[in-house]
Amino acid sequence: MAESPIRMRSRPATEALIVEAGERILLRDGFPGLNVQTLAAEAGCDRKLVYRYFDGTDGVVDRIAGRAHAALTASLASIPQVETASLRTFARISLLTWLAALRASPLSLRLMAWALVEDSDLLRRIESDRAAVLQTWMRERRPRLRVPPEGDPVALNAVLLAAVQALALSADRRGAVAGLTLDAEGWSRAEAALDRLLVAFPD
């Protein structure tokens, strides 16, 4: 008697099916719909395999996050390097590049949204790893610019980065934020507003 298709799958193939199932569930239903039962049903495998191969849902989420971070890294790497002697210009390029990378990665946005409403060691690590993706890119691209002694550029950058990420999340979930519709015209207005805020950085 021939083995069932599930039994004939190799472990790597079954793992890939489970991770892909997790991505579909996360994109379609959000994090509340992600559990061992839905993963197994979506992947067409026994629930025991989710525990055996991933030690439960967290292991699958960890793998999904790794794939999302790899996509962000590739997106950032595709942006040509621009030589600049202006800290303001570099900040602008970095923020808009990160915004574009996030908007191109729905999985990253779903994971970010999850971390806003729940707290766990896993989600904190995912957040830290995502931040490291941007920090690595900036460290490799940043020109040798002197940070001015006055002001607090670190805090300013954190505030602007939080705003950019909120824009990406709002565009993904609602298409608008605080009365600003995030269509082509809205994005142009948001970019112009960012330029006005960036005057706090030295040119």
Write down the pLDDT at residue 2.
Answer: 37
Domains of the chain and CATH, by start: 5-55 (1.10.10.60), 83-200 (no CATH)
In the predicted structure, residue 150 carries a pLDDT above the cut 80:
no
Q: Which of 72, 54, 56 is nearest to 16 (CA)?
A: 54
Instruction: Look at residue 15 in the predicted model and tell me its pLDDT.
Output: 95
Confidence band for 134, pLDDT divided at 50, 70 and 90: very high
CA distance 197 to 167: 15
What would the pLDDT profile of 56-99 be if each residue is shown by its tens digit? 999 999 999 999 999 999 999 998 887 776 888 888 889 999 99
**pTM score, whole prediction:** 0.85
Cα–Cα distance measured from residue 129 to residue 10, given in angstroms and rounded to the nearest whole number: 30
What is the reported pLDDT for 158?
87
Q: What is the pLDDT of residues 26-41, one digit of tens each?
A: 999 999 999 999 999 9
